[in-house]
Chains A and B, each alone.
Chain A
Amino acid sequence: MTTVIGKKEIPVIIVALLSLLMIVPFFINAPALNSMSTEVQRMLVPIAGFALILGGLNVTLRNITKISKRSKDWQFSIVLLATFVFFLVVSLIPSPFFENLYTMAYVTVLGKVNEAVMALIAVFMATMAYRGFKIKNFETLLFTLSCLVVMIANAPIGEAVWAGAPGARNWIMDYPNMAGMRALNIGIALGIMAYGVRTMMGHERIALGDIEIKVKKE
């Protein structure tokens, strides 16, 4: 392995070279490398473009199989394919008619439905709070109390109820919260470094799609 570079090493070499290309010009004044790294980042846009086409294929093929197998609720898959084709056409064809149709369909309908999905988050957080903030020990007491204080202060009415709430919230956010978040961030940064180095050295193969060669060393 030390002498011959096999097919298996190609992804490792690509990863190592590209990550170094991103890292080096960030720390060292090297205009040529810098423009190269921006160019590589720009080249990712068409690659991701191909990926999106592949994504469209994934969705359509899955639903075509569903229709052909007449599995449960296959009628919905026909609706899905129809919307797929409609949006593909109106967002792709550069003519005023289709552009109008696109603005109409995307801005007035689909955009709002999208927002409705995102709006579910807030409601779901209410039940998460209901289940997640049970006081069982001192830790969960702190978890719950800090949440309650910040919530009272954030409610526009909170200040009228408890005048000291914004002050208490600001203290929590500026000191204990900041300390916790800061340490989390430092830990995550170190975790990223360890993962990056082990992938660049070719120890972490799964991220590159290589899972067969992994043998547990006893």
Chain B
Amino acid sequence: MSLLIPGRIADLVLFLIFCGTILVLTLQASGGKKFELKRKLAALDAMPEAIGRAVEMGRPVHYTPGGNPLYGVRGTHIQMGLVISGYVARLCARLGSKLIISVATAEQIPLAEEIYRGAYIAEKVPLAQPDVRFYGKGDPPFGAGCIETIYKERVAVNMIIGGSGSDFPIIAEGAFRAGAFQIGGNANVFMIPLVVASCEYTLIGEELFAAGAMLSEDPSQLAGIVANDLSKLFIIAMILLGVVLMTAGNSTVLQLLKI
């Protein structure tokens, strides 16, 4: 029995290349090398302004990382949503806005509360109890519950950033009818079109994952994004090489990918 699994060797090699690039650049960043990103995300710049407006209106901000479990197929999307919730919570604490976080799966409750509380401690703002709400198992109670919360609390800004599934249209439209300003972020290819059609500012696909690192402004996190750009160049080069060879009647790249 060989150590490598046939059919997954190419996957392993690509995996090691991608992770290796990220690892090397991150270590370089820890060693003091500076990385700079040229492309800015409008959605992140819009956040403070939106929250500021909510403060002026005296109405709360509603945030949800979306309806999937922490450890499932879209686990990392949800986790990224929770990471961004940390920055939103800090902004809310700093600007003095009330924040409500709705979670769709129960195991997110303690983590969301911990992040919420931590953000207020970091900003040195007193907080009695983090307002994290859970509504029940599955998308229907989550969607209906979020609408109810948005209406009853007269939410001014609604952010749905993370791994929303079919709960997205319900919450987004409910918030629109309540007159809330919306920022959406999603990396679920089925839901991205709805995000683009319904939100003022969006973080789509990879931008969601880059957003966390950009908000941290920590060079070792930014390094990961730069490393991904290098990996993308590698992928494009591989596609072009493969296509040129295939056109010439040589399927080496294709065969290599299938190992």
Contacts and interface: CB of A to CB of B under 8 A. Distances in A.
A and B touch in their complex, CB below 8 angstroms: yes
A195 B80 contact: yes
Given A29-B2, A54-B109, A191-B206, 19 more contacts: A26-B8, A28-B3, A48-B106, A118-B139, A131-B176, A131-B197, A132-B196, A184-B205, A187-B206, A188-B189, A191-B187, A192-B76, A194-B22, A197-B19, A197-B26, A209-B118, A210-B118, A211-B86, A211-B121
A52 interface: yes
B173 A58 contact: no
Nearest to B204: A184
B90 to A, nearest CB: 8
Contacts of B170: 117, 120-121, 124
A192 B188 CA distance: 12
Given A184-B205, A194-B213, A27 B12 contact: yes
B197 A129 contact: yes
Interface in B138-165: 138-141, 143-144, 152
A216 B214 CA distance: 12
Nearest to B231: A190
Contacts of B204: 184
A39 interface: no
6 contacts: A44-B71, A58-B132, A188-B189, A188-B205, A191-B210, A193-B19
Interface stretch (A95-103, A158-166, A200-208): A200-208
A153 B216 CA distance: 46
Interface centre among A72, A73, A209 (most CB of B within 10 A): A209
B78 to A, nearest CB: 10
B229 to A, nearest CB: 9
Interface string A7-29: 00000000000000001001111
Interface in B187-206: 187, 189, 192, 194, 196-198, 204-206
A94 B51 CA distance: 50
A154 interface: no
Nearest to B110: A54
Given A44-B71, A209-B114, A204 B3 contact: no
Q: How large is the interface on B (under 10, 10 to 19, 20 to 34, 35 or more residues)?
A: 35 or more
Interface of A: 23, 26-29, 44, 47-48, 51-55, 58-59, 62, 72-73, 113-115, 117-118, 120-121, 124-125, 127-129, 131-133, 143, 181, 184-188, 190-199, 201, 203-204, 206-207, 209-212, 214, 216-217
Nearest to B187: A188
Contact of A206 (B83, B136, B197, B232): B83
Contacts of A47: 107
B95 interface: no
Given A124-B173, A184-B189, A206-B86, A27 B15 contact: yes
Nearest to A71: B152
A192 B78 CA distance: 11
A217 B219 contact: yes
Contacts of A121: 166, 169-170
Interface in B69-107: 69, 71, 76, 79-80, 82-83, 86, 90, 105-107
Interface stretch (B42-50, B55-63, B220-228, B246-254): B220-228
Nearest to A111: B140
A203 B118 contact: no
A217 B228 contact: no
Nearest to A208: B111
B244 interface: no
B170 to A, nearest CB: 6
Contact of B220 (A52, A185, A198, A212): A198
A198 B137 contact: no
Contacts of B227: 194
Contacts of B196: 132, 143
Contacts of A27: 4-5, 8, 11-12, 15
B15 A128 contact: no
A43 to B, nearest CB: 11
Contacts of B140: 113-115, 117-118
Given A72-B152, A194-B227, A206-B82, A214 B107 contact: no
Contacts of B220: 198, 201, 203
B181 interface: no
Contacts of A48: 69, 106-107
